[in-house]
Structure 1
Amino acid sequence: MTRFEAMGWAAYSGHRAEFPATENSVMDVFQFWDHSMPPKEILDAKQLWVSCAEEHVWYDDQSARDFIREGFGDAAAKAYSELWHPALKSDVFRLYRLAKCGGLYCDADSKPEYRIPEFLRCGGERVWASSMTNVPNCVVNNWFVAAPPCHPFIEAMLDQVLRNIHDIDSRGIFWLSGPGAFTTFLYQNIGKYDVGLLPQSCLKSELFRQFDADYKHTEQNWRVYEHKLGLDNDSGLTWALRNV
């Protein structure tokens, strides 16, 4: 894990960015929840995002599949429908949606902070994400990702995630499509793409904060799901460290 964390710090150091200052607006905010009727705490958080975005789009499993079919074809939609966990579907769908339309993706178990309106007014020119920089295990996160349409980094990241899923090799979701996959890919391509990484302290205090939703204590949480299957980090770490 220390070697993998070094990859995370290298990715962050190569893409560290200040708060956006251009005048290009983010197209919209979009979010995903696999069921059509989310719990109240998720709906309450959704309303906070709706209130601070000029346009907000909400997707469930069916509408996400329809979006992929319309934009990327039947085979892509079928492959999406065969994914085995809501977290994996969310990871894959956000990349399809960003690749096609751009926007700002935010996890449904989150609340906006006070600078979100400012970010939406001026963060539309490049890809934005964040890195965990105030805790061990520095990684590039994918729970808050903004991008303009058709950005080459998002398209390449989507291709990599789909390859990971095709060649699963006993890896968990963290390594297939989550922060482990993002960190490894960005480390392999430091400086190649216009990606700005904000530090976690900026994200949590100014833009986006997750909360401890009830679902995280059930198998809807990928960590709980994979723990019950006996999956650990070993296979994913082996895969990632091949790239060091």
Structure 2
Amino acid sequence: MPSRIDMTDGPEHHRQRSEFIRGLVQRSDTKASLNDRYEQAPPKTIVQFWHDLGELPADIKECIATWARWATSGYTHRLFDEDSAREFIREALDARHEDAFERCYHPAMQADYFRLCYLFVEGGLYVDADDVCVSTEIDSLFDDGRLKVQPLCYDVASGAMVNTARFLSVDAYEPSWIFYVNNNPLIASKRHPIIERALQRATDLLQDADGSVLPEIQTTTGPGNLSRSIFERGAESAEADGELVVLRDWESFAVSRWPLSHRNDARNWRLSNQQRFRRGEN
């Protein structure tokens, strides 16, 4: 656990966060003790989101089908769009969360925020619509209720992601590396404290944002928000170690399909970060 935590959002906080997640990712004891609270498995539900199902791209539909097929094997597959996600939030949470969802100005941001809402309320597996399931089994993802996340590492010096096998090696390190976790996939039991913290932080940031400036997606609702929530939970609670599982082998379950039709237009959040999105922009 980090000492003398810097909770301000400055360089030292980012460094401590990266070092903390590096410790989680590279530790040799990959099976941390299971907190009794998480012995019960999450529901066998696969949840996905695409903002406009009336204009679902054919290539995204193909990706989604690789997850929907698990409905014949005892799983429930739920596909939401902007309208049904808003309705879920309205009925399951409160006006504050609905208002925060309304402030999500891009489909990727809506997906980020909705997955936190859904998993907090119901639990299950959330996976992005552009991931393709390549595994012949997914039962092991549901073996207990701990939060399961995919580790990532970015090299600032080269401006590129670090190969997973390389950064997972114990003691692998470069000063320019940033360790963090993805918010895809997310697997957890309902009301998981890390999901709760990430949802609360995203809600606060969305509601507190200056109306004249659109908040940055990654740090507000995406992997940056989740990584910070994990770090701060670990700093305050000795139980955090038993609440989390790092999926070092996620690529054996799913791969992100590339290229896809939406990656070169406004539907790609990297091209539209802090820019207002409107349906039909492609």
TM-score by length of 2: 0.70
Q: What is the match of residue 44 of structure 2?
A: 27
TM-score by length of 1: 0.80
* Mapped contact 1:26–1:120 kept (Cα < 8 A): no
Q: What is the match of residue 113 of structure 2?
A: 92
Q: What is the match of residue 242 of structure 1?
A: none
Matched, 1:72 2:93: yes
Secondary structure in 1 aligned to 2:62?
helix
Distance apart, 1:130 and its partner CA: 1.3
Are residues 119 and 113 of structure 1, via their aligned partners in 2, closer, same or farther at CA, if it must alter by over 3 Å?
A: farther
RMSD: 2.9
Superposed CA deviations along residues 126-177 of structure 1, whole A, max 9, x for unmatched, are 1111111471432211010001111122111100111122233764101111
Q: What is the match of residue 178 of structure 1?
A: 222
* Mapped contact 2:216–2:274 kept (Cα < 8 A): no
Matched residues in 2 for 1:75 and 1:126: separation?
A: 27
Distance apart, 1:26 and its partner CA: 4.2
Superposed CA deviations along residues 26-68 of structure 1, whole A, max 9, x for unmatched, are 4310000000231011111111101135211100111100100
**AA aligned opposite 2:18:** G
Q: What is the match of residue 239 of structure 1?
A: none
Superposed CA deviations along residues 199-233 of structure 1, whole A, max 9, x for unmatched, are 3xx111x122111222121111111012879xxxx
Structure 2 stretches of 5 or more lacking a match? 1-9, 154-160, 163-176, 277-282
Secondary structure in 2 aligned to 1:108?
coil
Distance apart, 1:104 and its partner CA: 0.3
Distance apart, 1:106 and its partner CA: 0.2
Are residues 9 and 72 of structure 1, via their aligned partners in 2, closer, same or farther at CA, if it must alter by over 3 Å?
A: same
Q: How many residues align?
A: 225
Q: What is the match of residue 81 of structure 1?
A: 102
Are residues 115 and 148 of structure 1, via their aligned partners in 2, closer, same or farther at CA, if it must alter by over 3 Å?
A: farther
**Equivalent residue runs for 1:1-244 within 5 Å:** 4=14, 7-14=17-24, 17-18=30-31, 24=41, 26-37=43-54, 38-53=56-71, 54-114=75-135, 116-122=137-143, 124-133=144-153, 135=162, 136-168=177-209, 171-190=215-234, 192=237, 193=240, 194-199=243-248, 202-204=249-251, 206-212=252-258, 213-226=260-273
Structure 1 stretches of 5 or more lacking a match? 230-244
Matched residues in 1 for 2:139 and 2:41: separation?
A: 11
* Mapped contact 2:103–2:206 kept (Cα < 8 A): no
**AA aligned opposite 1:137:** I
Distance apart, 1:73 and its partner CA: 2.5
Distance apart, 1:115 and its partner CA: 5.7
Are residues 23 and 184 of structure 1, via their aligned partners in 2, closer, same or farther at CA, if it must alter by over 3 Å?
A: closer
Matched residues in 1 for 2:274 and 2:91: separation?
A: 35
Are residues 25 and 100 of structure 1, via their aligned partners in 2, closer, same or farther at CA, if it must alter by over 3 Å?
A: closer
* Mapped contact 2:97–2:203 kept (Cα < 8 A): no
* Mapped contact 2:21–2:179 kept (Cα < 8 A): no
Q: What is the match of residue 236 of structure 1?
A: none
Q: When you count helix as a share of all residues, which structure comes out higher?
A: 1
* Mapped contact 2:47–2:77 kept (Cα < 8 A): yes
**AA aligned opposite 1:220:** R
Secondary structure in 1 aligned to 2:234?
coil
**AA aligned opposite 2:228:** T
Moved more, 210-219 or 139-148: 210-219
Q: Sequence identity of aligned pairs in percent?
A: 25
